[in-house]
Amino acid sequence: MNIFLAKRISDESGQSLVEYGLIVAMISLVGLVGLGLFGGGLTDLYDVLGLAANCMSNMVSGGSCT
């Protein structure tokens, strides 16, 4: 019985899976915090890019940017 328990305690085959899970959880947490901090700035960036795309489209079709 003691040999069985000793083998189970020293068995580290599932340890790497747990470590990878913790790494994925940490990366996800950092991503969520980053989106929370910079989310407003990204919205503004996408708005500017959308306006620039509309302006370029208008200029190609002979219009102007307003």
Token pair belonging to 48: 């500017």
Contact present, 55 and 61 (Cβ < 8 Å): no
pLDDT at 38: 84
Sort 45 into a burial class: Cβ within 10 Å, 0-12 / 13-18 / 19+: exposed
pLDDT at 35: 85
Global pTM value: 0.47
- Give the residues of the chain that fall short of pLDDT 50: none
pLDDT at 25: 96
Q: What is the dihedral of CA 22, 23, 29, 30, to 10 degrees?
A: 150
